[in-house]
Every structure is written in C-alpha cells, then in structure tokens.
Structure 1
C-alpha cells in the first residue's frame, strides 16, 4: 500500500457530528491531528449549514487548518438534488447550477476531486462539467457500490459514458461494499431479533447464493418485517454487494479511487480482509498500475456503537496488511 494513497473519510465520524459536542470542522481536523490519516475525505453537507453554497473564506480557513496540522483534503462528497419541489424536477441548467458552487468549494478546500453516485449526472451534464473540472483542477468520480455491479445495465451505460469522454478528469470510484463474501457479524447480531431463524441461518451461511436474496425479497414483500427493522433490512437489498473482485477487471482502467468500506472489524472467515487481499492482487496486476486513493469508510454507525477514531485507525492497519 506504500505506493498508493491511504485516506480516511470524515463520514466515519458521523455519530460525533450528530452529537455536536464539537464543531464538525474540528472533528475533521482531528482526523489529522490524531494521526489517523493525513488525507481526509470530507462531506460538506455535514460541515456547513450553507450547503450546497459554502462561503469561500470558510472553505479556505478549513483547508489551511488541515494543512497546518500536516494534512490535506482528498475527495469531497457532492450532491445532486434532482427536485426543486415535491412536484418539479430540476432542468439541465438548474442541475448544472446546483453543482457549480460545490465544485468551487472543493477547489477552495484544495481537494483532489468530488464524488457523485454513478450515472446520476448523465452524459450531457458530464460533458458540460468537463471544462469546469479542468479549470478548477478537479476530478469528478462516479461511485459504484453495494448491490451494483459492472455488468448491470445502468452501471454499464454510465461506464460507457465515462469511457467515451476519454478524459482523466472523469473517473470511477469503486466502493468495496460490492465485494462482500459474507455479511458483517455485528449486523447479523443486530438483525437477529427481527428476522425468522431460517432466513437468518441462510444469511449467515449462504449470502452469495442467488436464492438467498430471493428469500430476502420474498420476506420483505410478505409484510412481516417489523417497521423498526426496515432500515436494517434494506441494507441487504442496497448496501451489501456480492460481486467477486475479478468483476472489476474490465472497468479497472477507469477507476481512480476506492472506498475501503467496512462495517465492523470482526474478521471471522476473513470476511473483512479477504476482499482487500483480492483487491490488492488485482491492483498489483494492473498496467500501468493503480496510483489513486484508498479511503477507509465505516458504514456500520446504524447498529454498532464504537469509537470512530480507534476503529478507523485499526481498519487502516488491517487494510495495509491485507493489501
């Protein structure tokens, strides 16, 4: 991992941001001062109430504080709100205008780039953003994650759009939540009280079998899922993927960054470390070689009460050893 850039996402500290015992900007700086990482990915929507338009002086001030601590900003999470009201969707000009101040904020932060969900922008908007990305020295990353896979039609169309641009300023970001050989142990523990034992056994021992996901969908449609468990249950359908690392081989030339998604650090059956080992092998084979960012991102806030600083530090250590 020495030739790649390790980073930590401020998203990992979401529980602390919600508690609001410290300013969100202070929490972000603390990622660097605590020695967890020198490259930090930021979520402006968590940092400033003014989002999506952040005053330049506030962004510059945060950039300089992070630099003074010995760090820098990596990728910034952007958002494309498609709706102006419950009944009116933004037109193309309004979508472009919604993103522009976010790009400027990323530039003011000294960021490497911005991140959007894959396919949301669309080919026309990507083309319109290209000159702005070059002017501001930014890369736009479209993120593929969870149940999405490179061969699914929506993802494949978006990948084709990026490839057609032939521009290093528009790249893919792969979230390793796509590569889950088994479900997180702590998630299964949290889910257990609200799911039939037979289905829980199947989720525990046969996550990768297609029939398991069919059973999940059937149970959801039955109406038997308790309302309090809906959010946890939807993770099975959206956030947890089942692709092998080799599925990334065809898109790897377009990938500029990875989110090393983790939910907990229980490495039973190498369920946390094995996807990282597989990914490391794939990257070492790639020509001319991957030189992008590998960012630790914790997604288990919903069910796991843990210290994000200790957890992220330990995850990055595991990632270095595995990759």
Structure 2
C-alpha cells in the first residue's frame, strides 16, 4: 500500500553529504539526481550545500537549480536555512541583522519554488518571527521550526517555541518533528562503532539493552564528567546526549495541530525488533486520524559513522517507510 495521497514522501539531499564533501559532482547536481534516479519527486535541500553564494544566494543560482529540477519532474518542499547569530566572536547580531541575514535565503527559497524553509526550534524567537510573518505571507512560504533528538514537546528548548507557534496561530509558521526523538533502541551499527572506538563493552551492552531507562541517560553524562570516554570516540559519544531521543510518538498528540512536516530520521537499516520501522508505523497510526497534509522526508544521519551508498540507503529506507505506513491501516 502506498502512502495516503495527502501525505507526500520526500528525500533529503542531506543524505548525500559525504558526496557533497567529495565534490565530484556539484551539490545541485546531486540534488537533481535524487529525482532523476527515481527515489523521490519531492526533495529537501540545505541552502548552505546547494548554493555557493550562501547566505545571500543569487537569483542565477536559485534559477539554475529550479531549471534542473523541473524537467525531471522534481520539486523542493523545504529549504534548510540558517541564522548566524554572531557577527563577531564577541558580538551577537541584533534582530535587524538577523532579519537581514535570513531574508535573502527566504527569497531564494521562493524563487526555487520551495513550499517552506526550516530553522532549529526556538532560534528565531517570537519578535523575529513576527517581523518575518509579512514576508512569509508575501512569498507564500511556511517557516518550520524543527524539534529533534533529545528535545520533547515539554523540554525547555522546545516548549516556549511551541507556545509561540500556537499564539501566532499562523499556518505560515509551523513545527517540524524529526523522528530521532522516538528511538526505542540505538542503531546497531552505531553500537558496533562505539566498541571499535574503545568504549567499554559493558557500557555498550547497557546502551543496547536499556537505552530508554533514565538511569542510562545519567550514566552517559557520568561517563563524560569522569572523562572516561576514549578521545577518539568523543564526537560519536555526544550523539547520545544530543541526537538520539527517548520519547514516545504518543507525546505528539497534543501538539499535532502545530506540526506541518516530519523528518523520518534513520541511522542504518538494521530493523531489529522494529527499531527503524516501529516509530514510523506508530506515527502513521497517529496521523491517520489527523488533518496532517505535509511531507514525510527520509533523512539519513548515519553517514557520520557508516560508509554506505546514500542512494541505496535512501531507496531502501523509503521502501521500508511505505511498508511501515501500510501496516497502519
């Protein structure tokens, strides 16, 4: 069974980040290849990857990407934009400067034909969001604020921003939820990599068996405080603190009217005990009775430690997504 027509599956060009870094093809050509290779007709792109003139993309760059996508039947759902909050290492930008930093990216996204842009949740803040609203309406763009990883609807970093979205009551400002929030267990390949990088096997076994136990979260922080994490594993270990979540999909129920899009985050495709497909199926069941009409975008985060072909990984993940959504009916 395919996904309901009101939901659109998409693929993120972020999945191809290792290829972008190798620069054997341009980032724009890689993005177009997602569509041309038949993975998805709707894609997400990162402004800082596809436009060399970022953060002030030129009309020519925006037009070129759109001109490459349209002949192969492709369209952009969301552009990942950003705000550099610091003018210098010691001086934060004020809201006039932050607005000026962001507006060229919004105009380029509109010129590209994107439906929306994306920022981390809470980064803009209510005063800037209110100043952005007229431009969002003029360009018919949705600004999505993204929750992910350890964030929850009630967390200090997300709850005030969700309150702001509700208070604005504007369909041009919505939340985007990344399913990295809902991880019943850690990725198999990640656990293997921790062992390879010298993290004690007993601790890795605990992570594997008791990821959602609050005591395990305390143990992770204790390892860091005690400087017991091998130096070569430190960056990888920080994923446990930031990128991997422990929430339940059901926690979305009350905030669902504020959500306009999802990232279906995956790290690998080892679906042991449904650790990859399970949250997708739960999400499908939750959305089935809702008014949600946005995109569900495949986003691969495991390329940080897993050397695999992004085209193959994304194609297989989208097949798994379709199967998991079909099981919800």
The normalised TM-score by structure 1 is 0.98
- TM-superposed CA distance for 1:153, in Å, is 2.6
Write the deviation string for residues 116-147 of structure 1: whole angstroms up to 9, x where unpaired.
00000000000000000000110000000000
Superposed counterparts of 1:64-79, under 5 Å = 64-79=67-82
- Distance in 2, Cα, partners of 1:234 & 1:153: 19
Q: Does 1:131 align with 2:161?
A: no
What residue is the counterpart of 2:31 in the other structure?
A: 28
Which of the numbers 224, 229, 232 marks the counterpart of 2:233?
Answer: 229
Q: Tell me the alpha carbon deviations over residues 72-124 of structure 1, each in whole angstroms, 9 at most, x when there is no partner.
A: 11100010110011111101100111100010110111000000000000000
User: Which position in structure 2 is the counterpart of 1:303?
Assistant: 305
After TM superposition, where is structure 1 displaced by more than 2 Å over at least 4 residues in a row?
A: none
User: Whole-Å Cα distance in 1 between the matches of residues 4 and 253 of structure 2?
Assistant: 22
| CA RMSD of superposed structures (Å) | 0.8
Equivalence for 2:62: 59
Aligned twin of 1:180: 183
The reply on whether 1:318 has 2:320 as its aligned counterpart is yes
Separation of aligned partners in 1, 2:61 and 2:98: 24
2:9 matches 1:13: no
* Counterpart mapping for 1:110-259 below 5 A: 110-193=113-196, 194-259=198-263
Higher mean C-alpha displacement, 189-198 vs 123-132: 189-198
- Looking at structure 2, the residues matched to 154 and 145 of structure 1 have their Cα atoms a distance apart, in angstroms, of 11
Shift of residue 195, structure 1, vs aligned partner: 1.3
Inter-partner Cα distance in structure 2 for 1:49 and 1:226: 37
Question: CA-to-partner distance for each residue in 1:255-283, whole Å, 9 max, x for gaps?
Answer: 00000000000001110000001100100
Which has the higher mean CA deviation after the structures are superposed, 190-199 or 296-305? 190-199
Distance 1:54 1:152 in 2: 34
Q: CA deviation at 1:246?
A: 0.4
Cα distance in 2 for partners of 1:311, 1:123 equals 38
Structure 2 CA distance for aligned equivalents of residues 230 and 205 of structure 1 = 21
Indicate whether 1:293 and 2:295 are aligned: yes
3-state SS, counterpart of residue 243 of structure 1: coil
Unaligned runs of 5+ in 2: none
**1:46 Cα deviation (Å)?**
0.9
* Alignment-derived partner of residue 90 in structure 1: 93
SS in 2 for 1:151: coil
Q: Return the offset for 1:22.
A: 0.8
Q: What is the CA-CA distance between 1:154 and the residue it aligns to?
A: 2.7
Q: Deviations over 1:270-306 (max 9, x none)?
A: 10000001100100122xx211000000000111011
TM-score where L is the length of structure 2: 0.96
| 1:2 positional shift | 2.8
Gaps of 5+ in 1: none
Determine the C-alpha separation between the residues in 2 that align with 1:48 and 1:136: 20
Q: 1:38 aligns with which of 38, 41, 63?
A: 41
Asked if residue 263 in structure 1 is aligned to residue 251 in structure 2, the reply is: no
State the Cα distance separating 1:228 from its structure 2 match: 1.6
Q: CA deviation at 1:224?
A: 1.7
Three-state SS of the structure 1 residue aligned to 2:238 is helix
Mean CA deviation greater in 48-57 or 99-108: 48-57
